[in-house]
Amino acid sequence: MRILVVGGAGYIGSHTVRRLTQVGHDVWVFDNLSVGHIAAVPAGRLIEGDLADSGALLKALTENSIDAVMHFAAFTSVPESVAEPAKYYRNNVIGAINLLDAMREAGVGKIVFSSTAAVYGVPDHIPVPEDSPPRPINPYGFTKLAIEHALADYARAYNLGFAVLRYFNACGASSDSSIGEDHSPETHLIPIILQVALGQREHVAVFGTDYPTADGTCVRDYIHVEDLAEAHLRVLARIEPGKGLTYNVATGVGFSVRQVIETARRVTNHPIPVVERPRRAGDPPVLVASSQSIQRDLGWTPRYPGIEAIVQSAWRWHSTHPRGYGDRS
């Protein structure tokens, strides 16, 4: 299949590009490189462009005879979305609608959309099933939910076929350590911990030690980026015109902030000093999801269900690329 991966130079997009390419799909990346890295894209496969540019989108879709789209290009920081909602609504909502409309015009009828645990807000049940009512508690979650609704409406009205993948906490790097996570500034727990191990930070701040969890710190479902990539590959094959699929992509097992730090101490052999800080705004205490639906329907199963292997994978990337993609130029 000819696939346009929008945001394919970013963290999850680039790992998915690699997996799609491995199995023989003809993959093109559309990315404005605002967050992504050119070094993460296979040579000659980058179309540099912006979601705000409908003409560029249409050209990318038609000139390459695209059959399906995967859409990763979104801003993803919860605190930033609270401080700058306009940025999030403009890119994540208007940008995605531009993409859907360019697809209509070009006659491209299939899309896999990156959604998020943030659509659930503070869920009633753990592990969270897909039929848990979406109730976002921040602008980021609302922007993703808005596009989930748009996809369902476009499917009914225009016969679009789509899949929504709601990811939990993406982490890790490619098994050959050639691509990995490189955000600037970094806000995610595992890379921050590993920056401490690399001597780039003095300590890791633990945001909140009074949550109603076993050790008082937040619990998250850490899902390896290659497991996410595999989920995209599999769900693409199941998309049908006018129909939508929605899956959680998670391991079903949660680890606390303290457990992740403890694991990183073992993996890196570094003491990783901690400072305790107040809770970070907008953090649900526990986010762990059921992925039974995707396991049952697609035969997908996480290859990295434990935190040790995930931290090892991230450590291989960060220790060999201490300045991220800056080390490759």
User: Which amino acids are annotated catalytic?
Assistant: 140
Q: Which CB sits closer to ligand UFG, 276 or 327?
A: 276
Q: Least CB distance from residue 311 to ligand UFG, whole Å? A: 13
Q: Which CB sits closer to ligand UFG, 38 or 309?
A: 309
Q: How far is CA 192 from CA 10, 60, 79, 188, 204, in A?
A: 18, 36, 16, 6, 7
Q: Which CB sits closer to ligand UFG, 154 or 217?
A: 217
Q: Least CB distance from residue 127 to ligand UFG, whole Å? A: 15
Count other Cβ atoms within 10 Å, centred on residue 225.
Answer: 29
Q: Which residue is nearest to ligand UFG (CB)?
A: 218
Would you state the structure tokens that stand for residue 40, as one six-digit string? Answer: 């993460």
- For 31, phi then psi, to 5°, come to -155, 140
Q: Least CB distance from residue 283 to ligand UFG, whole Å? A: 5
Q: Least CB distance from residue 282 to ligand UFG, whole Å? A: 7
Q: Which residues bind ligand UFG (CB under 6 A)?
A: 76, 78, 116-118, 140, 169, 187-189, 192, 204-207, 218, 220, 257, 280, 283, 287
- For 52, phi then psi, to 5°, come to -75, -15
For residues 174 and 314, what is the distance between their CA atoms, to the nearest angstrom? 9
Q: Which CB sits closer to ligand UFG, 4 or 189?
A: 189
Taking the CA of residue 216 as centre, how many other CA atoms within 13 Å lie in the half-sphere pointing to its CB? Answer: 9
Q: Which CB sits closer to ligand UFG, 59 or 188?
A: 188
Would you state the structure tokens that stand for residue 191, as one six-digit string? Answer: 């890379």
Count other Cβ atoms within 10 Å, centred on residue 129.
Answer: 15
Residue type, 51: L
3-state DSSP assignment of residue 101: helix
Count other Cβ atoms within 10 Å, centred on residue 108.
Answer: 22
Q: Least CB distance from residue 118 to ligand UFG, whole Å? A: 3
**Enclosing H/E stretch for 230:** helix 225-236
Bond preceding residue 212 cis, omega within 30 of 0: no
